[in-house]
Amino acid sequence: MELEKYKVLLKAIETQSLSSAASELGYSISGISRIIHSLEKELEIDLLERSRDGVLPSSECKKLLPSIKDFVKAGELVLSQAKNITNVPVKIRIGVAHLRIYSWLMTSLISYKKENKEMDVDLIYGTSSILAKQVEQGQLHFAIISKREGDFKWDLLWMDEAVAWVPASNELSVKESIPLSAYEKESCVFPFLSEETDYSLIFNKYKINPNVQIVTSDEYATYSVVESGLGISINLRISSLIENKKLKVISLNPKIYLPIGIAYSNELSKEAKKIMNDLQSSCKLFIKNAD
């Protein structure tokens, strides 16, 4: 919006630096430059001049500064009053592709919500590919997923190992590693069979045609079915519950590691960016403690 453009201009003048303004406002330097350029094009004047001291307002800009400051002040007042009138909390939509992270995230958001009552958060579970598309289409603000390509930003959080889930009753349970070819012979259990998943991508890459006998709705259901001895599966180590006498978590052969990170919109709101940064830091701590 126009108000934001003028706030960018004032911040650049205040800091006398495009890079400092970009850092404080959460833009890239090129983004700040484009905003200033668009204002100059609209007003048909040069707004900033470069000097030894940094960027300074041009003589024409100095004449406009009182009006610009009044405009920004009035605009912020209108936004504040509108927010009080509507009294609608800011809604943040977050996607997560791994149920172990989903459980942690739900607990974290409950605590976060207590301290930020103006936040209304929706947590959506799905495959990495589906959630990536939803981020790209603006349906989600951000999502914790395995790496996917798309028109969004993506930051690495950790590298996770793909592992086999094997019933203790299966002769493979005593192996140090499970060859991918075993999935063509053994009965297999997988969620989201019709969707593109990390596991379908792995099998496609290694030209494996898994012998799928049971399809489940999520990772917990898959774990329960494998635990019951009805087949083997594949999942990430972070999603592997504590091993028990009925189920073994075993490395694959070859070992496979997947990048897990946070995909987020190119146009992230200030509120969404704040909660994303807070969760990003605590997520890294959670992963470290989970190892």
What CATH number is given to the structural domain containing 108? Answer: 3.40.190.10
Contact predicate 184/174, CB 8 Å: no
142-146 and 90-96 beta bridge pairing? parallel
Lowest mean pLDDT among 94-108, 157-171, 241-255: 94-108
pLDDT of residue 88: 54
Average pLDDT in the 72-98 region? Answer: 73
pLDDT of residue 165: 95
Q: Please report, rounded to a whole number, the percentage of residues in the chain having pLDDT higher than 90.
A: 35
Number of domains in the chain: 3
Residues 82 and 141 in one domain: no
Average pLDDT in the 173-192 region? Answer: 94
Q: What is the CB neighbour count within 10 angstroms for residue 87? A: 7
What is the tens place of the pLDDT at every residue in 212-229? 999 987 888 888 899 999
Lowest mean pLDDT among 4-13, 101-110, 124-133: 101-110
Tokens of 133: 């598309």
The DSSP line for 133-184 is HHHHTTS-SEEEEE---SSSEEEEEEEEEEEEEEETTSGGGG-SEEETTHHH
Residues 95 and 129 in one domain: yes
What CATH number is given to the structural domain containing 43? Answer: 1.10.10.10
Rounded CA-CA distance 59/40 in Å is 13
Residues 97 and 71 in one domain: no
Range of the domain at 250: 160-258
- Kindly state the helix (H) or strand (E) to which residue 251 belongs, with its residue range: strand 247-264
Residues 275 and 136 in one domain: yes
Residue 41 has pLDDT above 90, yes or no: no
Residues 140 and 165 in one domain: no
Tokens of 131: 């959630």
Residues 12 and 82 in one domain: yes
Average pLDDT in the 276-281 region? Answer: 80
Residue 201 has pLDDT above 80, yes or no: yes
Residues 13 and 26 in one domain: yes
Residues 125 and 99 in one domain: yes
All residues at 6 or more sequence positions from 54 whose CB lies less than 8 Å from its CB, including other chains: 15, 16, 17
How would residue 1 be classed by pLDDT, with cut points 50, 70 and 90?
very low
Residues 50 and 113 in one domain: no
90-96 and 119-125 beta bridge pairing? parallel
Residues 149 and 267 in one domain: yes
Residues 71 and 137 in one domain: no
Contact predicate 157/144, CB 8 Å: yes
Residues 126 and 42 in one domain: no
Rounded CA-CA distance 18/25 in Å is 10
Residue 85 has pLDDT above 60, yes or no: no
Rounded CA-CA distance 99/125 in Å is 8
